[in-house]
Amino acid sequence: MSTRNSLKVGLTAIFAALHAILYLLSFGLWRNWAIYIEPFEGIFLGPWMGFSAAFMGSVIARIIRPIDFWMFGIVAEPLGVLVCGFLARGKWKPAILIYGFMLLAYFIHPFGRALPLWTILDILISFMLIYPVAKMGNYIFMDDVKRSSLSFIFVSFIGTVTDSLTRVFLFIPAGLYSLFGLSFNELQWIFVTGAVSSYIEDALVVLVSVLVGIPLLAALKKLKFPC
């Protein structure tokens, strides 16, 4: 195994541990603090190793602290990382397929057509941004600070919205709401309040990317880290 591959395997384990730790430390928000590390996993490790790190971390975290909605995180978090990894490497087609499939399923479902459209505006905006952001994805690894920072921010935004979309897909089209015996009115209340929290989290993820991600990326470039 090459030195580069050995490094990435080690980093995958580290990110998996960080993912689990952030989940276990989280409090106060609709989901958990692990969402803040998703863009880092995808951008620094790439789509598949990032996916593996997020999956291992989310599974371990929920084994340690199980919750009723455990099945959402172990699917949504790795998919958010996967999309970040694709976009950061300029690959838009897989992300379009993921979004297209889940959005189509959502709007085919009668609840998806009945729920307020404003609750998924960030998802629709993210969908429209996939192609242009993928085209500028490689800017992340360039020395141009402005382009690199802008690309990092947009990739982070789409990644966290992918997490939200996956939870929406699992909750409504995949029918997990029925496991909890929820009526439409109860589901609508959960969905609307969850959407408000999700918008706040979109902003927080972007903020973390600006305050932590961009300086970290600049430091790794100086160290010639093999992203």
Q: Report how far residue 114's alpha carbon sits from residue 150's, in angstroms, rounded to the nearest whole number.
A: 35
Domain boundaries, the chain: 3-222
Residue 3: per-residue pLDDT: 60
Residue 59: per-residue pLDDT: 93
Q: How do residues 4-40 score in pLDDT, each as one tens digit?
A: 667 778 888 999 999 999 998 876 555 688 888 999 9
Q: Report how far residue 11's alpha carbon sits from residue 204's, in angstroms, rounded to the nearest whole number.
A: 24
Closest C-alpha to 57, from 37, 86, 39: 37
Are 11 and 45 in contact, with CB atoms under 8 Å apart?
yes
Closest C-alpha to 170, from 38, 94, 71, 60: 71
Q: Report how far residue 110's alpha carbon sits from residue 193's, in angstroms, rounded to the nearest whole number.
A: 20
Low-confidence ranges of the chain (pLDDT < 50): none
Are 45 and 116 in contact, with CB atoms under 8 Å apart?
no
Q: Report how far residue 141's alpha carbon sits from residue 115's, in angstroms, rounded to the nearest whole number.
A: 40
Q: Report how far residue 103's alpha carbon sits from residue 62's, in angstroms, rounded to the nearest whole number.
A: 27
Residue 33: per-residue pLDDT: 86
Entry pTM: 0.89
Residue 4: per-residue pLDDT: 64
HSE-CB at 221 with a 13 A cutoff on CA atoms is 16
